[in-house]
A and B are shown apart, each in its own frame.
Chain A
Amino acid sequence: MPKITVPLGPQHPALKEPGRFMLTLDGEIVDGASLRLGYNHRGIEKAAESRSYLQNIYLIERVCGICSHSHTTAYVTAVEEIAGVNIPDRAKAIRMIIGELERLHSHFLWLGVGAHEIGFDTLFMYSWRDRETVLDALEMLSGNRVHYSINTLGGVRHDITAEHVKKLEEAVKIVEERTAYYIKLATTESTMIARTKNVGMLPKEVATKLNAVGPLARASGVGRDMRKDDPYLLYDKMDFNVITTDSCDVFGRLYVRVFEVLESCKILKQLLAAIPEGPVTAEMPKIIPAGRAVARYEAPRGEDVHYVLSNGKGNSPERFKMRAPTLANFESVAYMLKGGYLADVPIVIAAIDPCFSCTDRVTVTSGGSKNEIDWNDLRLKGIEFYKEKGIDFSKL
């Protein structure tokens, strides 16, 4: 039988984000796969060069709707390093609390999506229901479910109260109980095992060679975790384990994520038991001095790297560059698809927990559109809007 080539995507290739996979099929076996990315390219790196350091926090937060805190934390860490500002321990702890809650909700989200891809929609509904516990906690702390906007230059925008701590401890307890159930389910449920064991194999040496990061790497026995390798915030003072397994398949990626939820709960409990006292912001210099910094952050999907260059003259970075974990992991996808069944393609793609928006980042809008609003127009519009309500911002 001759080989045939089938395009998967760019619309909705197994998940609700664009990317195109060209699959060469020999019967129902995938003989080869090539990828086309970039459909979500929004020009964020270019845009960052024309916005102030502070405005960029809000821009960069919108790189991704799931790991919004990861990106801003990496960015502000780099800017604070250039400015030579050491933020108070209480602010570090709050950044970590939000960061670990983000990991919890992201892993629950993934568990649901993964279950959905293999047709196990009951689990999808369970895990998304439990994810609400975490989202409620995030909303309580920051006022928002997804874009928490907790970070600012020099610290965080909201303090945490004793009442918050009590409610968070309750939420962590619920998450731990539910995770124990998911662990039992994932390791004993026969359909789950049949659909994930020995599927999407990525041997350790290939994962190492292709720069795999996060749960994908850790499920292939590569223990890369920036919280241990290149500790930031207060992670060097925390007691937690890096979860790895040598199974190298989709089952391993499931295993790593559910056990990581428990490790995140462990970190949260340590933080909540002893949140450092003190202020939540440090003073930042008015002008960011010349300098450069590379910040690494262990996002739920793996290592997030940000590079910021300041020329010390303006109010905007000279260069901002970021590499989200999905871009690092895409190199492995083509390898994992090869040799597998066509029917397993969705779960293999979903198993890296891909985030195309993160990967592509960077729009350049076409010049001709009539509905375009630039930054200044948007600002003027905002001033007009508030003027009608009796508040004058035009002098700011």
Chain B
Amino acid sequence: MSDLKQEKELLAKVTDHFKDRVFDTQIQRERRVWAKCHAKDVKEIMAYFKNDLGVDFMPMVSGQDCGENYEVIYHLSAGGIVFNMTAVVPVNNPDLDSVTDFYPGSANMERELTDMFGINVTGIPEGERYPLPEDWPQDSHPLRKNWKPEDYKEVK
């Protein structure tokens, strides 16, 4: 068994830097670290990961509807370690900054947050919507828990 040294060091760097702005931390197992932050801090945190920690790979961005909040998980890959930084986005004010300044490869995954959850992500480079069709209603977000397939009316 690993003593989780690398995982602990990585998490300590992040919590030392951001103090209580990063919370609910967990080292789940070897190579899996979890933490939460507020939506407003996302840009600063991602800048820290990219510029200070040298984490250059973000394989996935996931959204999820947790009732009062949406959660957006930035799955960052630091070597083999996946650091899952979860941003808490309030449902009544679903605004989020784009992290494409630091991780340009995440543009389509951020567009997915807009289409599927209705999270307003500002700062994504100009481009076509993804993944829903051009004529899909702007206010219909299929991955919200209260969305049902019968809500969708075909656009003529």
Contact = CB atoms under 8 A, between A and B. Distances in A.
B16 to A, nearest CB: 24
**Interface secondary structure of A, over-half rule:** mixed
A263 interface: no
Given A36-B128, A46-B143, A365-B149, A331 B59 contact: no
Given A37-B130, A38-B133, A209-B104, A303 B59 contact: yes
Interface string B52-70: 0000111110111100000
Nearest to B140: A364
Interface string A195-236: 000000000000011111100000000001000011100000
A188 interface: no
A361 B149 CA distance: 16
A213 B60 CA distance: 12
Given A307-B73, A307-B75, A328-B59, A366 B131 contact: no
A372 to B, nearest CB: 10
A41 B73 contact: no
Contact of A331 (B73, B84, B104, B133): B104
Given A303-B59, A364-B142, A365-B149, A331 B107 contact: yes
Contacts of B103: 211
A45 interface: yes
A229 B77 CA distance: 10
**Nearest 4 pairs between A and B by C-beta?**
A211-B105, A38-B131, A366-B154, A323-B60
Interface of A: 34-38, 41, 43, 45-46, 81, 208-213, 224, 229-231, 292-294, 296, 303, 305, 307, 309, 318-319, 321, 323, 327-328, 330-331, 360-362, 364-368
9 contacts: A43-B142, A293-B32, A327-B108, A328-B59, A330-B108, A331-B104, A331-B108, A360-B131, A367-B153
